[in-house]
Amino acid sequence: MNAKELPLDLEAGIATLKRERNAVVLAHYYQDSEIQDVADFIGDSLQLAQEAAKTTADVICFAGVHFMAETAKILNPGRIVVLPDLDAGCSLADGCPIDRFRAWKARYPGAIVVSYVNCTAEVKAESDVIVTSSNAEKIVRALPTDRPILFAPDKNLGRHVAKQTGRDLILWQGSCIVHETFSERKLVGLLARHPGAKVIAHPECEPAVLAHAHFIGSTTALLKFAIASTDKTFIVATEPGILHQMTKAAPEKEFIPAPPEGNCACNECPHMKRNTLEKLYLCLRDLSPRLEMRADLIEAARKPIEKMLAMS
């Protein structure tokens, strides 16, 4: 053990703790590659929620951001849910505080409220149905046509779903600090240098970037598309953590991260990147930090999540 009482071989230490705690590690694709490599399951938001719903582990270690771990807790109130860093948030969730959300909802009595899973449990509790980027289109298509539909908090995903479904959606004006940074100008320059490349993009990107995309989908959909495609070069407009699984699954292909406008690393999600392998080891060892929630909030937020799982 070193000074911080961490084993030198963190991976081996994590494997031992997983056995001792009967723990499952769920990781999102935006996690560092070393975290993805110790996970029992890697997926997009929908798959991670589905996996959390069916786990029999005593402890769920959620390597992702707060709203994702919260969803796992809502589906598993009796299990211990830990996450490496409790402060791993999300700009979409932060940009939709419950008091403003309630005031917005109140302006549209009788509307159906659809919320993207990237929101707080309080917002979920006051929504009719939750969606993720992989099922939003399907769920919106299935909604009744005689009532207005509110969609929060991501305006870019909402606009994309409205376009795909032909439904009128009233949009909350939120966006993701990561996906709004991709530069259309630099993307066009990259396409000129790689004429055969396919642009694959997450629907949280701005419309100007989505307009250049050959394929738009959730993180898992982007991965599946890249693996199945006969093309060899892909410009990937989402958080570059996903490139780890892309290059593992298709090492013969080239994956180029779409660049941000500035000379910065702002295409990396600062929230996701708060998690480290060390913190993951410590949260399994100490069973802390833990996700704790009020029983009434769990109860209220579970209904629209279960509706989503049933409609997916």
Taking the alpha carbons of 118, 119, 120, 121 in that order, is the dihedral positive or negative?
negative
CB 271 within 8 A of CB 52: no
Among 52, 59, 92, 152, binds ligand SF4 (CB under 6 A): 92
44 touches, from ligand 13P, ligand SF4, none (C-beta below 5 to 8 Å by class)? ligand 13P
Q: Rule CB under 6 A: is residue 199 a binding residue for ligand SF4?
A: no
- What's the min distance (Å) between Cβ of 31 and ligand 13P? 11
Which DSSP string do the residues of 156-190 spell out, in sequence order?
HHHHHHHHHH---EEEP-B--TTGGGB-HHHHHHH
Site residues (vs ligand 13P, CB under 6 A): 44-45, 118, 132-133, 176, 202, 204, 218-219
Tokens of 80: 């211990």
271 touches, from ligand SF4, ligand 13P, none (C-beta below 5 to 8 Å by class)? ligand SF4
In terms of C-beta density within 10 A (0-12 exposed, 13-18 middle, 19 or more buried), how is residue 260 classed?
A: middle
Q: Rounded to an integer, what distance in angstroms lies between the CA atom of residue 307 and that of residue 101?
A: 20
- Of 201 and 272, which has the nearer Cβ to ligand SF4? 272
Near ligand SF4 in 5-64, by CB under 6 A: none
Q: Rule CB under 6 A: is residue 283 a binding residue for ligand SF4?
A: no
Strand arrangement, sheet containing 59-63: 41-43, 23-28, 59-63, 80-82
Among 74, 161, 178, 308, binds ligand SF4 (CB under 6 A): 178
Near ligand SF4 in 224-243, by CB under 6 A: 239
- What's the min distance (Å) between Cβ of 302 and ligand SF4? 22
CB 213 within 8 A of CB 201: yes
Among 82, 112, 136, 176, binds ligand SF4 (CB under 6 A): 176
- Of 55 and 238, which has the nearer Cβ to ligand SF4? 238
Buried b (16+ CB within 10 A) or exposed e, 23-59: bbbbbbbbbbeebbebbeebbbbbbbbbbbeebebeb
218 touches, from ligand SF4, ligand 13P, none (C-beta below 5 to 8 Å by class)? ligand 13P
51 touches, from ligand 13P, ligand SF4, none (C-beta below 5 to 8 Å by class)? none
Q: What is the 3-state secondary structure (H, E, C) of 190-239?
A: HHHHCCCCEEEECCCCCHHHHCCCCEECCHHHHHHHHHHCCCCEEEEECC
Candidate ranges 158-166, 173-181, 220-228, 286-294; the one touching ligand SF4 (CB under 6 A): 173-181
Among 111, 143, 177, 287, binds ligand SF4 (CB under 6 A): 177
219 touches, from ligand SF4, ligand 13P, none (C-beta below 5 to 8 Å by class)? ligand 13P
Q: Rule CB under 6 A: is residue 133 a binding residue for ligand SF4?
A: no
